[in-house]
Amino acid sequence: MEESVVVCELPNEHIYAFEGMVRSENIGRPLPLGPENLLLRGSSLRNTKEVLGLVMYTGHETKELMNINQSRYKQSRLEKQTNRSVFIIIGFLAILTSVASTYNVLWQ
């Protein structure tokens, strides 16, 4: 039975980079693996009679999941202006309520 060993880089977020090699008894020399030998999740092969595949990383260690950046919440200019207006109105109402309650206490 033929024994093969695959040596490759640790999981990372670089989608277009991959380095590794396959060592096999019947080949005799190591075969390099690069980005052209890599199929990412969701890829499809066409016009290919046969393929020898090996799954390297799964779950949260896939390049796609590691490449997702946590982006900050994006706001439009209108949302920012509306938020600013709401805070101004709340502040004005707080001041108006404080003044009215102070006058009410003094009046009583």
DSSP string, the chain: ---EEEEEPPP-S-TT---EEEEETTT-SPEEE-GGG---TT----S-S---------GGGSHHHHT---PPPP--HHHHHHHHHHHHHHHHHHHHHHHHHHHHHHH-
Contact between 20 and 35 under an 8 Å Cβ cutoff? The reply is: no
| % the chain with pLDDT above 70 | 94
Is the pTM higher than 0.85? no
Q: To the nearest whole number, what is the mean pLDDT of the chain? A: 84
- pLDDT at 1 > cutoff 60: no
Give the mean pLDDT of 15-42. 83
Q: Average pLDDT in the 11-33 region? A: 83
User: What phi and psi values does residue 33 have, to the nearest 5 degrees?
Assistant: -115, 135
* Distance separating alpha carbons of residues 51 and 33, to the nearest angstrom: 15
Cβ atoms of residues 67 and 57 within 8 Å: no
Taking Cα atoms as reference points, which of 7, 33, 16 lies closest to residue 67?
Answer: 16
d(CA 12, CA 42): 18
> pLDDT tens digits for 62-77?
776 767 766 677 788 9
pLDDT-based confidence at residue 106 (cuts at 50, 70, 90): very high
pLDDT of residue 83: 95
